[in-house]
Amino acid sequence: MTAYEKLQNCLACVREKTDFVPDVALILGSGLGALADEVEAVATVDYHDIEGFPVSTVPGHKGRFVFGYFGDVKVVIMQGRVHFYEGYDRSDILLPTRLMVLMGAKALFLTNAAGGVNRNFNAGDFMLIRDHIMTIFPNPLIGANMDELGPRFPDMSEVYDKTLSRIILDTAARLEIPMQQGVYCQLTGPTFETPAEVRMLTTLGVDAVGMSTASEAVAARHAGIRVCGISCITNQAAGISPTPLSHEEVSETGNRVGPLFRKLVRESIEAMGAAL
Ligand code: HPA
């Protein structure tokens, strides 16, 4: 079976449960999963029920698609994503995003937990992702190109859509939520960075670091759909933070600012209706 056939197979499994065609695909990062419980759900599909679908092993990640509405906007929410450090093939990391493209999503809204590399960032800040660096991470499109979805050499000059990003900033301003903006760098994990690695990232112009997201953004741009994203800065990166890093700290901050983050994401998506 080719990777594209596997993808079509996954689509058929989803289509057995629902024929919902989403406008926006939303991927929820660590600690942010509760947003899926707030959507007026019309259907859910467990990843386990999708043949060949990669299922996450990270604590705190549920594994299901939730289909529903934010205002008039039809959304498919990924409650739980898979990461490269869990040992999946690159094509499996891209499969969920590609599946949501095939479901009909016109835009991908990415969220994640990230470490603050920029010294002006504090735990609990939100950062609009302006651009990313993924060159340190193995490129997820290495391997046979999926010609059905996009070209061999996709353009990445504007990964993060300006109009959708503007809507997020305007929504944050209306809700009086301060926003940072910057460059996100994806590393493989699962280790957090060393202070020397964080200094390297500072030199490279990185503002926030994490273990996801950029590869999904690349999959979406490869397939020609629009992308936007917000990082929740759950901790200052190693060497900036005075204390050792832990998954608990990441989850704690996610839980603390979760309600505000969810409000921002939900209202941004509602405001995107006219722009899609
Ligand atoms: N580094 C990498 N990934 C992360 C971090 C971090 O400091 N915080 C949350 N995800």
Q: Taking a C-beta distance cutoff of 8 angstroms, is the pair 72, 274 a contact? A: no
Residue with tokens 């007026």: 40
Q: Please, what's the largest Cα pairwise distance for the chain?
A: 51
Beta strand 73-79 with 180-186 is unpaired
The closest of 206, 194, 260, 197 to 232, measured between CA atoms, is 260
Chunked in runs of 10, what are the mean pLDDT values of the chain (276 residues)? 91 95 92 81 92 75 87 93 85 92 97 96 97 89 93 95 97 97 95 96 97 94 97 95 88 89 94 90
Name the residue type at position 263.
Answer: K
Residue type, 216: E
What are 146's two structure tokens? Answer: 């999926």
Pocket of ligand 1 (CB under 6 A): 113-115, 192-193, 209-211, 234-235, 237, 245, 250
15 is written with which tokens? 């289509």
Which position among 83, 208, 222, 238 bears the catalytic label? 83
Instruction: Identify the DSSP state of 116.
Output: E
- Contacts with 134 (C-beta within 8 Å, 6 or more apart), sequence order: 140, 185, 186, 214, 215, 218
Token digits of residue 236: 């200052």
Global confidence as pTM: 0.94
Paired residues of 183 in beta bridges? 131
User: Cα–chain-centroid distance for residue 82?
Assistant: 10
Q: Are strands 226-236 and 107-116 parallel, antiparallel or unpaired?
A: parallel
Q: Catalytic annotation on 61?
A: yes
Residues contacting 73, CB < 8 A, separation 6+: 23, 24, 269, 270, 272, 273, 276
Quote the pLDDT of residue 239.
93
Residue nearest ligand 1's atom 9 by CA: 114
From 32, 85, 134, 193, mutation site for ligand 1 pocket: most ligand atoms within 8 A of C-beta: 193
Nearest alpha carbon, ligand 1 atom 7 = 115
Q: What SS3 class is residue 125?
A: coil
* In contact, 112 and 213? CB cutoff 8 Å: yes
Distance CA 198, CA 206 (A): 9
